[in-house]
Amino acid sequence: MERSVESRVEATAHMLHLFVCGDVMTGRGIDQILRNPGAPELYEGFMTDARDYVTLAEQVSGTIPRSVAGAYLWQEVSVEWKRRQPLVKLINLETAITASNTPWPGKGINYRMHPANIDALTSAGFDLCTLANNHVLDWGFEGFEETLQVLQAAQLQYAGAGHNLAEAMAPAIYPLDAEHRILVFAMGCQSSGITRAWAATAGRAGVYLLGDLGSQTRAQLRGHIERYRQTGDLVVISIHWGGNWGYQIPAAHQHFAHALIDEANVDLIHGHSSHHPLAVELYHGKPVLYGCGDFINDYEGIGGHATYRSDLCLMYFLQFNLQTLALDIMELLPLRIRKFQLQQVSREDSEWLLSRMTEESVRFNTRVVRALEGPTFEVKPLSLAVG
């Protein structure tokens, strides 16, 4: 996607401002409150009508408006985006965008957003959707093809999926100026729930699915990165891995992230799949986000995992020095999902999330602390953290 960004890079003294988040789940219940809701039929054991998820949320939070524009979801956070002006906004899009009525056989949970509701993404100004996840083919290859077509028509770049393996492995490339680009490689693991049948091959559409996280996979990925990398490129690995609930970081995830930084000089590991934020790490100064949590979902009123507070989420703002590609600062802004909308959190909720992030991240020699001003958290090496 060609962008007129040179002046913005100059205006920020050669600093790259990047926004990332976790899973954007605008299907199912959220789709039903938008202007063009799709067919509500579901094939879940728990629920057979997507409108019932709206009812559950209303029982907890009160009346939710119907037939809203996509901007409703981001009404409060749009102020923060305008204030910070991130040059690139990267999300994991965890829903198909399709009117298909044929779900993947036996999948159980099938997310879809009607194509006419694409403003749920464009109104937020998202630039790139990673698609190597366990919901993009929920409505089969027909729904998958429509998803790609809708994103292309909306001029939203995607990575991690395509009509064949070469497309699925190819990075999204953002030119920043004459000397710098962002390369975003997206991939997934079976541990996140992606079935092998969704893996792209030379002759089949699908997602970029890693067979494992071993040395041979890392070597293949390192070579793949080097085929695209140019001097001055900032390289992002976006990976869908691990289960939905729990704070434990598998040793294999940490080893894989460290190896990519050491061996392939990756600048940012953007992990997702967990429904709540996981630990962050600064490894040799490079940010590792093990699980960014859900950014928006339709889980209000669903019981069973209340202790994880999946209604609380984070905006991740990272600033890199384009001359050195070093991370300058990373800030996390806490939010709450309420009435299918991202809203400011209470002080009590903010303190709870800060405590969790601090407790989980300190094991990685990284500390999350409250910023001196404003509602944000800052991520620092443990030796430099104060407060």
DSSP characters over 99-130: ----PPTT-----EE-GGGTHHHHTTT--EEE
Higher pLDDT, residue 281 or 46: 281
Contact 112, 100 (CB under 8 A): yes
Q: What is the pLDDT of residue 224?
A: 97
Q: Categorize the per-residue pLDDT at 8 as very low, low, confident or very high, splitting at 50, 70 and 90.
A: very low
Q: How many CB atoms lie within 10 A of CB 284?
A: 8
Beta-strand relationship, 157-159 and 280-283: unpaired
Q: Categorize the per-residue pLDDT at 387 as very low, low, confident or very high, splitting at 50, 70 and 90.
A: very low
Could you give the percent of the chain with pLDDT greater than 90?
90
pLDDT exceeds cutoff 70 at 11: no
pLDDT exceeds cutoff 80 at 386: no
Q: Categorize the per-residue pLDDT at 7 as very low, low, confident or very high, splitting at 50, 70 and 90.
A: very low
Exposed e or buried b per residue across 189-211, where buried means at least 16 C-beta atoms within 10 angstroms of its C-beta: bbbbbbeeebbbeeeebbbbbbe
Q: Categorize the per-residue pLDDT at 13 as very low, low, confident or very high, splitting at 50, 70 and 90.
A: low
3-state secondary structure of 40: coil
pLDDT exceeds cutoff 50 at 147: yes
The separation between CA 76 and the C-alpha centre of its own chain, rounded to angstroms, equals: 19
* CA-based nearest residue to 207, from 239, 169, 171: 169
| Residue range 289-306: mean pLDDT, rounded | 94
pLDDT digits (tens, 9 = 90+) for 188-244: 999 999 999 999 999 999 999 999 999 999 999 999 999 999 999 999 999 999 999
Q: What is the pLDDT of residue 14?
A: 83
List the beta bridge partners of residue 235: 183
Q: Categorize the per-residue pLDDT at 9 as very low, low, confident or very high, splitting at 50, 70 and 90.
A: very low
Beta-strand relationship, 15-24 and 88-93: parallel
pLDDT digits (tens, 9 = 90+) for 337-369: 999 999 999 999 999 999 999 999 999 999 999
Higher pLDDT, residue 43 or 374: 43
* CA-based nearest residue to 282, from 372, 369, 175, 387: 369
pLDDT exceeds cutoff 80 at 270: yes
Q: What is the pLDDT of residue 171?
A: 98
Sign of the CA dihedral running 299, 304, 309, 314 = negative
Q: Which two three-digit tokens encode residue 36?
A: 């063009």
Rounded CA gap, 296 and 339, in Å?
A: 11
Q: What is the pLDDT of residue 352?
A: 97
Q: Categorize the per-residue pLDDT at 303 as very low, low, confident or very high, splitting at 50, 70 and 90.
A: confident
CA distances from 338 to 117, 127, 169 (A): 20, 25, 36
Higher pLDDT, residue 381 or 9: 381
Domains of the chain and CATH, by start: 6-384 (3.60.21.10)
pLDDT exceeds cutoff 90 at 46: no
User: Residue holding tokens 């009435």?
Assistant: 339
Higher pLDDT, residue 108 or 70: 70
Rounded CA gap, 25 and 275, in Å?
A: 11
Q: Which two three-digit tokens encode residue 348?
A: 């009590």
As to burial, measured by CB atoms within 10 angstroms (0-12 exposed, 13-18 middle, 19+ buried), residue 89 is middle
